[in-house]
Each structure stands twice: as C-alpha cells, then as structure tokens.
Amino acid sequence: MKSLKILVGLVATFGAVVLGQEIPKVMAIGGGAPAFSLPATDGKSYSLESFAESKVLCVIFTSNHCPDSVAAASRMEPLYQAYKEKGVAVVAVSSNHPGSLTPDELGYSPFGDSFEEMLPFSKDYGWTFPYLYDGDKQEFASACGAQSTPHVFVFDSERKLRYTGRLDDGRRNSGPVERSQVRDALDAILAGTEVKEPVTGSFGCSTKWLFKKSKVAADQAAWEKLPVVVADLDEAVAKKLRENASGKIRLIHFWSTRCGPCVKEFPDMIDTGRRFQNRPFEFISISLDAADQRSAVATFLESRHAALPGPTAASLKEAGLATNHFHWVGGNPDVMAKALDGEWSGALPHSILVAPGGEILWRYTGELDMVDLRRQILKVIK
C-alpha cells in the first residue's frame, strides 16, 4: 500500500510516460480552473463562464465504456440532486478518444466512447446535468491532468482547485457507498472549511489519450494477420455446441453469405466477439450456405478478418473445438435446428445466447440492434 501511495504521488507530481508519450500531470491544489469550450449531449456548448453563478464547480471526467465509470454513473445524478440547490454545478466530461480503445476494452458497457454514444449512455442513468465531450482534442483533460475515468476535480467560488481524486469508495460496485470523498469535499467547501483530504487516487481506467491510437492500430494489424478457420458442422457437433460445457456464455449466430442482413451485420458480430473476449463469453458463427459453397464461406470470413480471439480459442480447445466458425454439412438443416434451437423457424439471421449447460437465455431472428445485443450479453455475463 505504501508503494502504491508513492506511485500515485509521483504521477500527480511529475506525470508519467506511456508508449513514449508523457501523460499530463494532475494539476496542483490551489490552481485555477482551466478555460474550456466543449459541446454537450443537449446540443449546447459550455464554457467555464457557463457556470459563473455557481458557488462550486464539480467536474467529473468519465467515459461510457469503463467499468469503474459505468458503476459510478448511477451515483452521479443523486450527487447532483443533493447539491444543486446549494449552488454546486456538476459537470461530466467524456475525456477519452474513441479511436484509442482496442475492442477488448469495450466488454463492460453497451457503448463505446464516441460523442454519439454519450447521449444514450447518459439517458440510461437519468443524468440531467451537462455531459461534455473532450475526446477529439483533450485540451481540458490535459490541462486538468485527468488520469482516469472517473477522475473528479472540485473548484471553489474563486475557481481554485480544492479537491481532486475519486468520486467515492464504490469502485466497480454500482450500489450505495459507505463514503464519498467528493461529498466530504463539497460539504467542507460549502461550510468554508479546509478539505481534510484534498488529494486521493482516482483508481479507474486510464485516460485513453490520443497517442494511444498507435497501440490500437498495431492491435488491428496483428488481428488482421491471424488465420481464419472454418470447420464442418454435423448433428454431433451441433449438440456439443448447444450443451456448452465451456463455462461461458455462448452467442451462436446463424447466417449465410447470400443473406443481405447477415452480410451487413457480420462485421459487428466479429466486433462483439472481440469486445467480450476477456469476459466469460464465446462467439460462434454457423453458416447455412450450401455444402458445396465452403470456399465462398471461407473467403467471406477471411475478408471480414473473422479470426479467433485468444481467450476464446483456449476455452474452445478445452471443449475439443478448433474454431468458432462452422459450416453446416449435415444435410437436412432441420436436424441442426432441432439440436441447437427447436423454436427457430429457419429465418436468417438468427442468434441465441446459450448458458453453460445448454439453456437458451435469449433468442432473436432478424438483423440485430448491436446496442441491444450488447445489453443482452451484459445481462447474463458474470
């Protein structure tokens, strides 16, 4: 614990170096609030002057994707409601660059960190305070030295920094918390007393700075070099897939290269597999193309870079499976449908979520709403 506190102090004082780039250091207590002008989800643009009438300005750098931010999101509106009549302005700022996230970092929320995804995210949690976007240039986040999401900065009536650090002790638990460092700080500032603990560690997902785009590009280049394997699917393998002895949630997706909606949504299905690869989750695809169309199926999958994520490969190997892509070659497809989902009519595309042991938790026929699909996965994933 002592070494951790020392590390937090060093980052706050000197900044840090990641991928050869220096991360902005956390601004010092007593420093003046940096100027900003940023767009918000309500269609307006906000600046420091927009909150001139407020006694206190509480800025929460956060994101749509981070599990720490997702857990804290449900506690932000109650914070705002508790202090808005006392003259406290609460402002959330999405500080991540959406292009600086690899797919496997997106497995804890139905949303990524783009500006367009901020509005539905904030609606999910009933936010009525401003939610600003700083992801393109990150000038405000850099000036404050926002290290993670969430990371809070509280400025007094003179707009001097009085507190910086975590929101509360909730971490990745979405329920009530025993202590909120931000509330303690707000109460002290409003009472005209010193904040007893003006600096705390923020302890959240690191800010996705613009320079991390190079890491994402390298990750994608490596992904596109991975081999794509297609295996035969017969009744025996179909039953094995449904039995699901992997201990993970399986998304089994039925498709064809001659199905327009299937072709359109398939890249998003691959993205889903990559997003949740580090969670207890497997993506399985089954092509219903004619048995003599194997080359077309393989070519399609290769062109979509439908490789097998490492964690999925490991769990499938334990189940005796070498790939997550299958091609039905067992004759009458009714046999396959009976083995995998007896309620399926045969219309494509079709998707099911299968629990360990074989229970179907969710099914959908037709082109998917990807946000809804991610919601369904997050409902059942542990």
Instruction: Sketch the domain layout of the chain as residue ranges.
Output: 2-214, 226-380
Task: Determine whether domain 2-214 maps to CATH 3.40.47.10.
Answer: no
Q: How far apart are alpha carbons 263 and 256 in whole angstroms?
A: 7
- What's the rounded Cα separation, in Å, for the pair 114 and 63? 9
Residue 154, pLDDT score = 98
What is the rounded distance in angstroms from the CA atom of residue 270 to the CA atom of residue 126?
Answer: 31
What pLDDT was estimated at residue 103? Answer: 97
pLDDT at 96: 97
pTM (two decimals): 0.91
**What does the alpha-carbon distance between residue 363 and residue 172 come to, in Å, rounded to a whole number?**
29
**Over the stretch 340-354, which tens digit does the pLDDT of each residue have?**
999 999 999 999 999
pLDDT score at 174: 82
In this prediction, residue 17 carries a pLDDT of: 57
- pLDDT for the residue numbered 156: 98
- The alpha carbon of residue 127 and the mean position of all alpha carbons in its chain are separated, in whole angstroms, by 18
Running DSSP on this structure, what letter comes out for residue 9?
H
Matching fold, domains 2-214 and 226-380: yes
Spatial neighbors of 204 by CB under 8 A, at least 6 apart, are: 66, 68, 69, 148, 149, 150, 151, 166
The DSSP annotation for 100-160 comes to G--GGG-TTSS--SSHHHHHHHHHHTT--S-EEE-TTT-HHHHHHT--EESEEEEE-TT-B
Q: Which portions of the chain are predicted below pLDDT 50?
A: 1-14, 19
CATH class of the 226-380 domain in this structure: alpha beta
- Can you give the pLDDT at residue 91? 98
What is residue 16's predicted lDDT score, i.e. its pLDDT? 57
Arithmetic mean of pLDDT over the chain: 94
Contact 94, 51 (CB under 8 A): no
Structure-token pair, residue 245: 């002895």
Query: Closest Cα to residue 80, out of 60, 94, 96?
Result: 60
Q: Do 129 and 51 contact (CB within 8 A), yes or no? A: no
**pLDDT computed for residue 2 by the predictor:** 38
